[in-house]
Structure 1
Amino acid sequence: MSHDNVSSLAPRRAAIIETDAQALETARALAADFVREASQRDRERRLPLPELERYSQSGLWGITVPREHGGAGVSRATLAEVTAIISRADGSLGQIPQNHYYALEVLRVNGSADQQRRFYARALAGERFGNALAEIGTRTAAERRTRLTVDPQGGWRIDGSKFYCTGALYAQWVPTATVGEDGIQRLAFVRRDSPGVEIIDDWSGFGQRVTGSGTVLFKNVAVPDENVMVLTDPAAPANTIKPLAQIIHAAIDLGIGQAALADAVDFVRERSRPWVDAGVERASDDPLTIGEFGRLFIRLDAARALVARAGRILDAATADASPQNVAAAAIAVAEARVLTTEASLAAGSKLFELAGTQSTLDPLNLDRHWRNARTHTLHDPVRWKLHAVGNYYLNDAAPARAGTT
């Protein structure tokens, strides 16, 4: 289904958030609203256009804009916490701006002063950046076939097909990963209404159902030179772009796991029956159930602590992007991603084991937590993060640049 004219794409002037505390307060207020119909949106695959409008107009989509450009320049730890808060309310809403923040980090690291001035202003005005990064059918996830060619009349032309384009359906801009004739990967900021751009709502994953993570097609799309910047340069020093993207992924999984655990607590307190051998009146007094809840709370608390720690280490690398600092940040974020993956999946699964057969009834839609966690944690393999962490501590080996650690 094509959505070239999705409504609510004309941004109004967004609020400006000035501090980390204000960002967290705003996120909590929005989350309290977003959670109310999260299950219905998932069940119906209802596009969250009104919610996204409130989300971006709240100013939260501009909180990573540096202070010198008028933004709050919040800490990476705060960005992760904001993401977890929203993801606990609705995992899809938590994921949609992930690549928006990623694009702003590419802009911070690789953009020119003029590009930063223009696109930071657009983010602060409430405009949303989606993404067209990944492709299907390439040899590896890092390979790109979408071509960026020089336009003899000036600027560039883009041709190709993208998938997993989270947020593009809802965006005014579609930052697009391309490869030039010189083999260099560049990020092109493409207006979503550019002639030749087609955005198709064909995401059919069983989780994260309303992220809009479908297809974007580019057919001889013109993009001016001033909207194109280097994405990856193998000769350049390591930077914070990938760790920034990865800590947001960790925070999304953390929020999904916290939501599953909260629903499990409510169900066991209010509806579950104790097992006959427990000898108690309430399921919440079953000693084996209590122990399993203790295990889940510990795992999710540990996951939250690792995400916060990774944010602090990433802040240090953002301030001083030395190879040592960037490597430490990448590893800290990888550690957080391992634990948030495991904890979110455990919470989504244990919910049913502890709550009992009633919890599987379809109208409750409690399976959305596991579906969301299982879908989102497939973004990149945890087994390679375990390898990167072990190799770093055992062999003093910095993480590989080509991966998504």
Structure 2
Amino acid sequence: MQEVVITGMGIVCPLGIGSEAVWSAIENRESGIRTVPRLVEAGFPITIGGEVPDFDGKQYVKPRKSLKVMCRETQLAFTAAELAWADAKLDEAKIDSERLGVVLGSSVFRSELPDLTALYQEASNNGKFDFTRWDSAIKQLYPLWMLKYLPNMASCHVGIAKDARGPNNTIVEGDVSSLLAIIEAADTIARGHADVMLTGATGSLLAWVDVCWHGGARMTRNDNPDAASRPFDSARDGFVMSEGSAVLVLESLAHAEQRGAKILGRILGYGRRAEAVPRGKLPTGQSIRQSIRAALEMGHVSPDEVGHVNAHGLSTIEDDAIEAEAIQAELKDVSVTAPKSFVGNSGASGGAIELAISLLGLQKNLIPPTLNCDDPTAGLNVACSAQLPKSATMLALNHKLTGQAVSLLVGGA
């Protein structure tokens, strides 16, 4: 099996666009959570979120006509992929297109309301939806609407733009999508089916359909955006909805060395586990613990060799308690960072964004800090300020209340 390394990354998140902007915000402890004007204008009860600031797809998407069939999440992914490609200096490399692939995690893209407005108006009868008018109303829908919102469109557009004729796949599995996609990309290279893979994820919980669906039900702190996302803090009261994308370039070690690429990290091991969660019940944390054990075993790394954990840190009462107990059980007093304190919860793309932030920290030999954790729950060793890691080996962790958990072990260059 071939060793897999990370040679480039691109980040588009509430902290900014590009690694330099993101790390600058981390260093200065600047939160990406802000008041969202459109939520205020709509009179929505929760008016904060993590939007990507000053994002305009026209600056990054080529050809421009592709924007007609790209929703915002696809535009974010395309931008992150362009940044990752440039970071890895792949334009200067001679890459066999048949050995270049794409695997991205993705949220279920929700249609923006303006795309449906004319349809609903046509089907409206005295303010109520009239199904007898559907045949006429459907003609108001943009003919390529479906292509705009299929979850696999991000991988497709990136693959087309880079002439990637190798494996192309999309994983849609909620908050664990990112790490599952990165693992699949690494396995694709390890199996010898590709030399280079673009991988990561894109997602948003700020589309109107998502905002109305969640309704801020797990978020009550609305008056102070900077302090709203509080992973593992005793005063946490819910997650903050956000958006973003991060894309990594993975290569076989042999391919990277042959072209003289800078190595940012090494994929050492991973674990993917699930536990049955009866309706109305919470996970026990068993799957989190098992995924951590599997990653360490695969990477031949002992618990005391892990420099830090990049935790899921959702900032909800239930999730954080379960995760904290599992981390302590398997890794004792390991240092923990929770980037959602800066960027909120973007769903499918969260794990990729968080991993990228830890990789940026490793380039500086620092564990990225966690914001707003004034009183860590259950004695967890949260890195509330930037710290020197005891090793360059880090474990990224994502999990879901439905029982899925994924751990990815990454080593330094």
**Could you say which TM-score interval applies, normalised by the shorter chain?**
under 0.3
TM-score, length of structure 1 as denominator length: 0.27
TM-score, length of structure 2 as denominator length: 0.27
Q: Which has the higher contact order (CA 8 A, sep 6+)?
A: 2
Higher relative helix content: 1
Higher relative strand content: 2
